[in-house]
Amino acid sequence: MSETLFDDAGAEAHRSHEPLAVRMRPRTLDEVVGQRHLLGEGSPLRRLVEDDAPMALLLWGPPGTGKTTLATVVSRATRRRFVELSAVTSGVKDIRDVVDEARRELGMRGVHTLLFVDEVHRFSKTQQDALLPAVENRWVSFIGATTENPFFSVISPLLSRSLLLTLHAHSDDDIRTVVRRALTDERGLAGRYTLTEEALHHLVRLAGGDARRSLTYLEAAALVAGDRTEITVADVERAADRTAVRYDRSGDQHYDVVSAFIKSMRGSDVDAALHYLARMIEAGEDPRFIARRLVVHASEDVGMADPTALQAAVAAAQAVELVGLPEARINLAQAVIHIALAPKSNAVITAIDRAISDVRAGKLGPVPAHLRDSHYRGAADLGHGAGYRYPHDYPGGVVAQRYLPEGLDGAEYYRPTTHGAERRFGEVLRRIKGVLRGGSH
């Protein structure tokens, strides 16, 4: 009896010293915030849990999205023995020891083991190979967590034997739910503190979709607040050592900062452009939104003056999807510097807008007969394709013939500037037009 009392007291003392994020870890699937695409009625994960079926899962997602949480919840829901290995500190021997113990438990007591491997992408090929017999023979149920693309970081045999589930960064509403629950729950701050709306907004921005980070900052802010019962934005700023950026993603600050960002790049002020980029990142702006603006700007305000600007912007957008923040800030900054310092031209956007204006004005005209499709039966009888000159049969690959519809003779949409590489494209265009209008090849 006394041993039980001492055990209970020790467990309670241990829980009181656990980080807030650990104490607030969900105990059931229904307590999990976010990831509704994985947890909805009839979803594969919920069916696996409800049917208590053997499983092999790979959970792929950014930090703080609940990979470890899902693994522990699954083990509790299925009443399996839970064993966790970290790929950072564990080797082949550790894997074999766990598997041997799991086989003993299964054979002697009928108890199934759920093996959770955090950061499984850090395992070498040999270490991942050591998991295969246990996964294939269902000696353990396996859950591996990774922040890296498993198609590159997990060996094919293990990947093919596992159900891949992708976790998404938490939305702002998800983070608010997590924080508010921690304020009131007995396992958390148990109602000792309230949080101002401005402080809540700042916590959400700081979290960047990472629930664990939001609770870490909340716990630190509570320590800063001390005996006071209200946590303010100043407390959060001191706890996180991060100034609250006054920026509302749906308000004036959002549009003003984005406008200044674009105009600074257009005006070639690289320092101002980087300032506004940093401001958006620190305020929690969606990096995919920033990347989309860069892709648009690369064609709208640089265009053919430096065709590589679009390549840089698209590469940055792909990097955002591949690695996410905070690392992708470097890729975004590189694209911003490239675009800001590139020679400028709006000839691309004005070209397509002139063409669209003519089309909307009804300047359509029939497609010239020699350009029409001549591959279907009866096309030749209609004269389609007759007289078409194949450019590759002529010197320089250009030959004089009509391309524009009737009524649009002399239409000129693309008007290159003399900036950067566009000067060369302008010279090429003049030579081409000279041939198309009947000059020498």
Question: Mean pLDDT in runs of 10 for the chain (441 residues)?
Answer: 50 66 88 86 80 85 86 83 87 91 90 90 90 91 90 91 89 92 94 92 82 91 92 88 56 76 93 92 85 95 95 95 88 96 94 91 84 71 76 86 84 89 88 75 43
Q: Three-state secondary structure along 59-103?
A: EECCCCCCHHHHHHHHHHHHCCEEEEEECCCCCHHHHHHHHHHHH
Residue pair 239/224 in contact by the 8 Å Cβ criterion: yes
Alpha-carbon distances of 396 from 254, 416, 430, 439, rounded to whole Å: 51, 21, 14, 13
For 241-372, where are the alpha helices, taking DSSP H only?
A: 252-266, 270-282, 287-297, 308-323, 328-341, 347-360
Report which secondary-structure segment, H or E, holds 113: strand 113-118
Q: Is the peptide bond before 63 cis (omega within 30 degrees of 0)?
A: no
d(CA 28, CA 24): 12
pTM of the model: 0.55
The first and second tokens of residue 268, run together, are 């070639």
Would you state the pLDDT for residue 218? 94
d(CA 311, CA 303): 11
Residue pair 198/191 in contact by the 8 Å Cβ criterion: no
Would you state the pLDDT for residue 187? 92
Q: Which residue has the tokens 């792929």?
A: 60
Would you state the pLDDT for residue 440? 47
Q: Mean pLDDT for the chain? A: 86
Q: Which residues, other chains included, contact 27 with Cβ-Cβ below 8 Å and sequence gap of 6+?
A: 73, 76
Residue pair 247/253 in contact by the 8 Å Cβ criterion: yes
Specify the length of the chain in residues: 441
The first and second tokens of residue 292, run together, are 């989309």
- Span between the terminal Cα atoms of the chain, in Å: 102
The full set of domains in the chain, from first to last, is 35-166 (3.40.50.300), 172-248 (1.10.8.60), 253-344 (1.20.272.10), 347-437 (1.10.3710.10)
Give per-residue pLDDT as tens, 385-411. Answer: 778 888 888 888 888 888 888 888 888
Residue pair 153/167 in contact by the 8 Å Cβ criterion: no
Residue pair 116/81 in contact by the 8 Å Cβ criterion: no
Would you state the pLDDT for residue 433? 85
Sign, CA dihedral 347-348-349-355, equals positive
Would you state the pLDDT for residue 293? 94
Residue pair 416/422 in contact by the 8 Å Cβ criterion: yes
Give per-residue pLDDT as tens, 47-89. Answer: 778 877 778 999 998 888 888 888 888 888 887 888 999 888 8
394 DSSP assignment: S
